[in-house]
Structure 1
Amino acid sequence: MRAVLVLYFKYFLGWDDNFATTIYHTFVALCYLTPILGAIIADSWLGKFKTIVYLSIVYAVGQIILSVSAVNDITDKDIDGTPDNMALHIALSMVGLLLIALGTGGIKPCVAAFGGDQFQEHQEKQRSTFFSIFYLSINAGSLLSTLITPILRGQKCGIYSEQQCYPLAFGVPAVLMVVALVVFIIGSRMYNKTAPQGNILVKVCKCIGFALKNRFRHRSSQYSKRAHWMDWAEEKYDKLLIAQVKMVLKVLFLYIPLPMFWALFDQQGSRWTIQATTMNGDFGFFVLQPDQMQIVNPILILVLVPIMDSVVYPLISKCNLNFTPLRRMTVGMFLAALAFVAAALVQIEIDKTLPTFPSGTVSQAKFINMLNKQLDIKAGPKEFTLQPFTASDDYLTSDTPLNLTLGPDAAYKLNLPMGNRSTVVITRDGPQKPCPTIFSDLKSKPDQGANAIRFLNGFASDLNVTVGEKDFGAIYTNNVSRYELVPQGDAKFHIKNNGQKCIYSQKLGFGSSFTLIIQPNFTTETNCGKSIRPVMDIEPNTVHMAWLIPQYFLITAGEVVFSVTGLEFSYSQAPSNMKSVLQAGWLLTVAVGNIIVLIVAEAAKLPDQWAEYILFASLLVLVCIIFAIMAYFYTYTDPAKIESQFDQMEPEEKKKEKSVEMERRSSDSSSDEEVNKQSRI
């Protein structure tokens, strides 16, 4: 669903790039904040299995509502394909996304931990293999969805109007989610289901709170020296829980730098998708849509995970290199930073090919001579000559009203709209002198890599033009049609006049804009090609999408050594009763990463996209260095071994330990009374 989400925001709801990106990352952040709730529910009341089942139902309902929100024709019988009741569409979309965030977030910490629960303590190798297969399964689904969902989105559907089929793109995942839930429930009897062990997260928070409070209360006591600040909770909580909390806090502290990785990684679905809309997706034997470019990530995952597990890691081990999980994660962060450097280099090349659109203080104009004779033109300081039915080479930029001279005796002052592009069509005002007419042009690249086409009718009567299912409507003499977005490929335009039909063909690339001049000699199909002259207003995208592959390779390689390793590391370092809690903490880093995207993008306000990419890369390199230092001082633990030490304590030892604690508490109390007495004196 996320494959087409940012395009749904931009092209269906009509939001601009920045706002669409903001809402996209807000949604992703919410998806990774709610795992805390899922972890509490699973570990405290329902257990992992029931939590997955119940919240998957919420997930599916949210997906259905999102699909309904994209159905334009049910709520408004419009004829132009744009929603009239936009508030209702937005409201339903937000409700659907909220339920999806609650559902997917709730099951995220449970699924991986539930899988890990199926293995015994001595099956560490099998459990490690499971996490790799688990990650492969996710990306196999991602591969299919990233390929198929944009195809579903690209279908035409509608009751009263033809439009891109977002209801189908969102509806199919909803159906498949229901199917997946049914399959999961069918396997219920095969699973090892760990019973919930109480509200462990609340207990952990209370234990930490008591330790801090007790430490602060006895800061001036003679017993203020303890090995760890959590030991101040010994007066109220048993040592096993305290030891478990220490293990969790130790890992959570290591998580602090991790959100920066996700801040870069999740921009594949926002900034990188938008970047692909300005590129050429023609690979010869197939055409790739901008939102399909994300398919490179799961393909590389499916290739790289087995290679890393079967070749790279064993080879490193044979070379006696201590490539620990935390060192792997450090390498992954560095590779992600390199990916954004590559993205910046590609963006610089894209920027070179983009036209310079006018700012709010200048105007731009192009001239078309529709007279059947050569015409000398002076526009401001620029002088040039136009042949019949031709256009000027480029747009003329001006920050003042434009003084225009046409031929020897026609002079005008044109007040062109500031911040806009215009085409000045020169016709003859009856038998009189040449006369200019101003038409507005596009001032941005056409959406989704499509081509914006319009017709200028120089024929002596009205014409009607269609291409596929699109109708340009009636085009009056010496007038221009509205723009229609035509996809890449061989476009066939059907031009009709009083029963006569002309089929004009033109091969279109990605992201171009043309004004097609119909000359006065337009007659029948045999003379069709000669009577139509294309004028390019915006050049097609020339930078190929293949140049995105290096940055996708780097970010995916980073993901493999960072994310797969991080999932296994989180599970292996978590106490037996806090697996979901630590998984939720891992997922929380993803949420914070998406929040970082919002903060950095809004605070930086960089005018160039490549500069923003370099900023994110620089921040990740800095964080990578910090994480490497933290990882160097981290000591790996065996939670099962630590917990078994407390379980094997003899009753007499526990009784003796309790007696020592009571004595310490009494001594602390006496010390406090002495301190209070001294204070009163």
Structure 2
Amino acid sequence: MNNFCTDKEDQKKEKRNRGTSIEVCGYPLSIFFIVVNEFCERFSYYGMRAVLVLYFKYFLRWDDDMATSIYHTFVALCYLTPILGAIVADSWLGKFKTIIYLSIVYALGQILMAVSAIHDITDTDRDGSPDNLTIHVVLSMVGLFLIALGTGGIKPCVAAFGGDQFGDHQERQRRTFFSVFYLCINGGSLLSTIITPILRAQECGIHSKQDCYPLAFGVPAALMVVALVVFIVGSGMYYKAEPQGNIMLDVCKCIGFAIKNRYRHRSKRFPKRTHWMDWAEEKYDKLLIAQIKMVLKVLFLYIPLPMFWTLFDQKGSRWTLQATNLDGNFGALVIQPDQMQTVNPILILTLVPIMDSLIYPLIKKCGLNFTPLKRMTVGMFLAAMAFVCAALVQLQIDQTLPTFPSASESQIKLLNMGSNPLTVTVNQMNPVELPAAQASPDYLTVKGQTITVSTVNPAVSQQFTLTFEHRQTLLIPSNVSQEWLLIADSTSKPEKGVNAVRFVNGMNKMVNVTNFDVIEPFYYSNYTLLKNGKSFIIQSGAQSCDFSTTFGFGSSYTFFIPSTFTFGTNCQESITAIEDIKPNTVHMALQIPQYFFITAGEVMFSVTGLEFSYSQAPSNMKAVLQAGWLLTVAVGNFIVLIVAELAKLPKQWAEYVLFASLLVAVCVIFSFMAYFYTYIDPTEIEAQFKKKDDDDDYGDKKKKASIEMVKRDSVTSQDDAGRRTKM
């Protein structure tokens, strides 16, 4: 009776869990909400991550090393928390509730990131940087922690929850769902890495104009809220399986007992056992122990794998920072530095079908046994080659960067503001010929702080005190007997592809230039950061003139308005353009080879690695290997921090070569491990253990039946003896 009641309760619970989803073309309608949820969530995550390192550097004003360190710490946390999410879902809350609760945490984290980037929540300087960064840093760090907890926690749940919606008769539809699910991941990644950098490049702010990080973070936050709402809307249609217990906990307990049992018996005379896991046989089933042995065999191969992720995830940090020193002009299209990351998902969507349908079959036809472990080895080597390409690009960049003065040097440029040529000498150096309204072509590097500048005709000599490690321009007026003006120049190359522009007024009347304050006679404006092309209107009283130019990327210009300047249609020809820092000349297209190699490596390493791991794992321990695989990603991001901190290399190209060399060394080690690895069939091994258990059960039953028969014969004999005695 009790069993009957229990069965009825289970049936009612199963009916409640099953939901009310209807089928459309053979597919449960509930999966539509799951697919949309995944697309929005991936857009939210990758969109936020695309601009994250630039936010650290240009908004929070951290240096490259600090920005890179925090970025990789965040990514590592995103791949550590899936273990926690899997345990919570399988042991307590179930997948549905885990997704709901952690998505709320996730959305709050994204909202905090958007709020942290609002420029005017604190007092601000006019140069576009907040006076007090503490509140921004605190909000962003809390936001990133919540995002890591949310995205990692739901990662192992959403795909599995989608698979739960299909019945046993829908195996083909389930496979199609996972293909669409993977497509949504890459589609969300692709669109977000295109859109959020465009949003970031917009100008916004109440008191000052700056890159619009609130919008770049706000749109991903909105998409995460949409993802949560869509998932909740489909709530009544879902099949919600009850938590069945987490196999990872059982595995950890079994391994812990084996180690403890072996340690307890280390000093006693016990017979040796074939494998150290055999010490768990006193408490755990032999089948479970055999399954754990299979998993440990694969996890041992995982040991060298984090080094691949060490290189792979730097495309979102070091490579993005490298792109800020490149020319992103592709003609009709101008690419932002953080948009170069879109090359990766584009190549993934292209290379995966090419590899599966063309490259791998072609290699097989050539008679080569291109095993999964060999593919992974080649993938690691390709990733190393990607960093060699990055090092070559960095060498090209370094050659184009200006040479700034050292700690014991200063640099000076001379500008003749008069209408007659001058011959100028600095500290007994070779004389410099300055045409009218022109500047010296290059900076003069001098040692010491005090210099003497002399003109020949007329003969005038003046002394000036320079600042070490700085560049300065000396403004020489048309009447050299008047006061000469020494002004500070840019001491670093403008980043993010913007240009530093200023105007020098050589006329005897004030002028007003678009985007600049009023410039006094024989004076100059401060630098203003502008995009690669700009039009100006120069005004003085009722007179005006249109002036337009194209700067390129990462340059610094001084525009000199001479005393002979006349307003009119040809006024642009009168303005002298002085190039203080040359624009980026290395094109961003040179990054494409390194993106190609790293993506080809990802396809051969990541996709193949998951396929190999699943084929070598027991059917009930796929989640354990998934957690182990994600753990290698987390460890790889921590290695970035360790290597970069220990190496402290002064040149970025040397760091790229170091990482490439480390991966090549690890690749050699992994190839030896792969050579001695023996492929197994977990299904066959499990079947053998189950057969053995069935045989043992059959033997136990037979033995028990024999004992019962002996007992019955004994009782019968005793009864016969008793009857004979009575007779």
TM-score, length basis structure 1: 0.89
Which of residues 518, 526, 530 in structure 2 aligns to 1:482? 526
In the TM superposition, residue 585 of structure 1 has moved relative to its aligned partner by: 1.5
Matched, 1:370 2:417: yes
Give 1 or 2 for the bigger CA radius of gyration. 2
Larger deviation: 536-545 or 107-116? 107-116
* Identity score, percent: 67
SS of 1:390's equivalent in the other structure is coil
Which of residues 54, 60, 65 in structure 2 aligns to 1:18? 65
SS of 2:452's equivalent in the other structure is strand
In structure 2, the partner of 1:84 is 131
TM-score, length basis structure 2: 0.84
Which of residues 359, 364, 377 in structure 2 aligns to 1:312? 359
In the TM superposition, residue 527 of structure 1 has moved relative to its aligned partner by: 4.6
Matched, 1:211 2:211: no
In structure 2, the partner of 1:334 is 381
SS of 2:301's equivalent in the other structure is helix
In structure 2, the partner of 1:414 is 464
In structure 1, the partner of 2:248 is 201
Where do 1:533-552 residues align within 5 Å?
533-552=576-595
Matched, 1:582 2:625: yes
Amino acid at match of 2:390: A
Amino acid at match of 1:575: P
Where do 1:194-593 residues align within 5 Å?
195-380=242-427, 381-408=429-456, 409-427=459-477, 433=481, 435-466=483-514, 471-489=515-533, 491-593=534-636
Aligned length: 651
CA distance in 2, matches of 1:643, 1:121: 22
CA distance in 2, matches of 1:594, 1:326: 23
The question of whether the paired residues in 1 share the 8 Å contact of 2:450 and 2:464 is answered with yes
SS of 1:461's equivalent in the other structure is coil
Amino acid at match of 1:386: L
In the TM superposition, residue 641 of structure 1 has moved relative to its aligned partner by: 4.1
CA distance in 2, matches of 1:278, 1:204: 50
Matched, 1:635 2:678: yes
Tell me which of the two structures has the higher relative contact order, counting C-alpha pairs closer than 8 angstroms and 6 or more residues apart.
1
The question of whether the paired residues in 2 share the 8 Å contact of 1:113 and 1:579 is answered with no
Which of residues 21, 41, 47 in structure 1 aligns to 2:94? 47
The question of whether the paired residues in 2 share the 8 Å contact of 1:131 and 1:568 is answered with no
Amino acid at match of 1:421: R
In the TM superposition, residue 52 of structure 1 has moved relative to its aligned partner by: 2.7
Shift of the 118–256 alpha-carbon distance from structure 1 to 2, 3 Å rule, reads farther
Which of residues 665, 674, 691 in structure 2 aligns to 1:622? 665
Cα deviation, 1:474-510, whole Å, max 9, x if unaligned, reads 2122222111111113x11112222322211112211
Larger deviation: 177-186 or 512-521? 177-186
CA distance in 2, matches of 1:591, 1:122: 38
CA distance in 1, matches of 2:126, 2:557: 25
In structure 2, the partner of 1:602 is 645
Cα deviation, 1:508-537, whole Å, max 9, x if unaligned, reads 211111000011123423352133110000
CA distance in 2, matches of 1:224, 1:427: 98
In the TM superposition, residue 445 of structure 1 has moved relative to its aligned partner by: 1.2
CA distance in 2, matches of 1:453, 1:382: 30
In the TM superposition, residue 190 of structure 1 has moved relative to its aligned partner by: 7.0
The question of whether the paired residues in 2 share the 8 Å contact of 1:365 and 1:395 is answered with yes
Shift of the 18–537 alpha-carbon distance from structure 1 to 2, 3 Å rule, reads same
Amino acid at match of 2:486: I
Cα deviation, 1:101-146, whole Å, max 9, x if unaligned, reads 1111112233455566678999999988876654443222111111
CA distance in 2, matches of 1:631, 1:28: 28
In the TM superposition, residue 324 of structure 1 has moved relative to its aligned partner by: 2.2
CA distance in 2, matches of 1:588, 1:437: 61
CA distance in 1, matches of 2:147, 2:510: 51
CA distance in 2, matches of 1:571, 1:390: 70
The question of whether the paired residues in 2 share the 8 Å contact of 1:43 and 1:580 is answered with no
Amino acid at match of 2:424: I
Cα deviation, 1:135-162, whole Å, max 9, x if unaligned, reads 4432221111111111111222333433
Gaps of 5+ in 2: 1-47, 701-727
Amino acid at match of 1:61: L
CA distance in 2, matches of 1:160, 1:607: 38
CA distance in 1, matches of 2:287, 2:210: 61
SS of 1:503's equivalent in the other structure is strand
Amino acid at match of 2:94: G
